[in-house]
Amino acid sequence: MKILHTSDWHVGKVLKGRSRAEEHTAVLAGVIEVARAERPDLVIVAGDLYDTAAPTPEATRLVTRALTALRRTGADVVAIGGNHDNGAALDALRPWAEAAGITLRGGVREDPDEHVIDGVTAGGERWRVAALPFLSQRYAVRAVEMYALTAAEATQTYADHLRRVLGRLTESFTEPDRVHLVTAHLTVTGAATGGGERDAHTVLGYAVPATVFPATAHYVALGHLHRAQRVDGPCPIRYCGSPLAVDFGEQENVPSVTIVEVTASTAARVREVPVTAAAALRTVRGTLAQLAEMEQPDAWLRVFVREQPRAGLREEVQELLPRALEIRIDPELVPAPGSGTRVAQRSGRSPRDLFADYLAGRGHADEDVQELFDELLEEVDH
């Protein structure tokens, strides 16, 4: 069978105040074109369909239309909720999804069998997917209790809970003539972050070892980390990455989807198919003169300006580089803590002097800013 593995669409993403709706439309059209060309038997969307738990109607329309178009290629479609998604809201779409022939699992259900999906390809290959949406720490404990796997103890870790839940969902992965698959939205220890993930859900407390997945799985389709990569483990485990760079920390990533070919008796063969519809993200550095000579790149820019801070500098850069979304003083020009002007003792110093020291110490000394501070201070004093 052939599988198209995608995740982390983050539809509705706003980058530094700039909507990326047009890019998302083009990116998802690109994913659909890959599906039409590759003719997969199964499409797995491994979470974070949306960038926010309260998506706009426009974002909802784009996601539902993309899922529908993927289903119309002839593939079965299985999609799960991620940490950015509202699991309950996704589950509210299940009647629509079922009518469209799409399997949607937004949150963990009380019946674990609802997370085990069976299918058969047109060629007769039987498959089974254990589909686990993102679980917060609190709901991981609740899921363990719901499935009556063991008494949930306070000393158990998040990884312990995930191991037990996945063990329950994959306990039927024993049939020799069936392709066994897992999809989940989580962080595996040792995998590399893409640069734009939500930190609270990628820190150590949320990381699980690859050994939570059974050796009987033919392929594990993961979402959550935005960099496409293979993860060492007891079975083939992979993040497909995001099909567009979500933030400037991801500018070196290659947006793609993953194509997997596997049978019940042969190992998974994996390849990446690039998705290039979104604008690139780039970081540029230079003085105003250097930036003025720069060829206008077809990318969203983060600009590190090699000039001393002053009023109006941002506007000058924006005029030179209209696609600049983030403009900062180059960190290399900012004095390290403790260098430059010595931090004075607070005792006996006026607010004006302390603020002047602060600006100088941070490399942001500017008479206009100081005058504005003086005006505000005078208003407060009176």
Predicted local confidence at residue 266, as pLDDT: 95
Regarding whether 223 and 103 lie in a shared domain, the answer is yes
| Cβ 237 vs Cβ 184: under 8 Å | no
Regarding whether 187 and 44 lie in a shared domain, the answer is yes
Predicted local confidence at residue 205, as pLDDT: 67
Predicted local confidence at residue 355, as pLDDT: 81
Calculate the alpha carbon distances from 293 to 87, 284, 300, 315, 333 in Å.
Answer: 49, 12, 17, 17, 21
Residues of the chain falling short of pLDDT 70: 138-156, 194-205, 334-348, 360-365, 381-382
Sequence length of the chain is 382
Whose CA is closest to 1, among 181, 258, 263, 217? 263
Residue partners of 116: CB distance under 8 A and separation at least 6:
128, 129, 130, 131, 169, 172
Phi-psi region of 8 (alpha: psi -120 to 50; beta: other; left: phi over 0): left
Side-chain-side CA neighbours of 261 within 13 Å: the count stands at 5
Decide which of 258, 274, 290 is a domain's last residue: 274
The pTM is what?
Answer: 0.82
Decide which of 274, 301, 323 is a domain's last residue: 274
| Cβ 34 vs Cβ 4: under 8 Å | yes
Element (H, E) at 181: strand 178-185
Regarding whether 256 and 197 lie in a shared domain, the answer is yes
Q: How far apart are CA 217 and CA 299, in angstroms?
A: 40
Regarding whether 162 and 137 lie in a shared domain, the answer is yes
Regarding whether 82 and 8 lie in a shared domain, the answer is yes
The helix/strand/coil state of 80 is strand
Predicted local confidence at residue 342, as pLDDT: 46
Q: Look up the domain containing 186 and give its range.
A: 2-274
Q: What is the largest CA-CA distance in the chain?
A: 83
Regarding whether 285 and 270 lie in a shared domain, the answer is no
Regarding whether 359 and 229 lie in a shared domain, the answer is no
Regarding whether 356 and 258 lie in a shared domain, the answer is no
Tokens (6 digits) for 40 = 């997969």
Regarding whether 314 and 193 lie in a shared domain, the answer is no
Q: How far apart are CA 135 and CA 187, in angstroms?
A: 11
| CATH number of the domain that residue 147 is part of | 3.60.21.10
Whose CA is closest to 131, among 154, 176, 97? 97
Regarding whether 192 and 299 lie in a shared domain, the answer is no
Element (H, E) at 237: strand 237-239
| Cβ 33 vs Cβ 26: under 8 Å | no
Decide which of 229, 246, 274 is a domain's last residue: 274
Whose CA is closest to 240, among 374, 373, 44, 66? 44
Pairing of strands 219-223, 237-239: parallel
Work out the mean pLDDT of the chain and round it to a whole number: 87
Predicted local confidence at residue 285, as pLDDT: 93
Regarding whether 348 and 321 lie in a shared domain, the answer is no
Q: What is the DSSP string of 269-302?
A: EEEEEE---SPEEEEEEE-HHHHHHS---SEEEE
Residue partners of 179: CB distance under 8 A and separation at least 6:
1, 125, 126, 127, 128, 218, 219, 262, 263, 264
Place of tokens 């105003």: 288
Regarding whether 222 and 330 lie in a shared domain, the answer is no
Number of domains in the chain: 3
Burial 42-54 (b: 16+ CB within 10 A, else e): bbbbbbbbbbeee
Predicted local confidence at residue 194, as pLDDT: 66
Predicted local confidence at residue 367, as pLDDT: 74
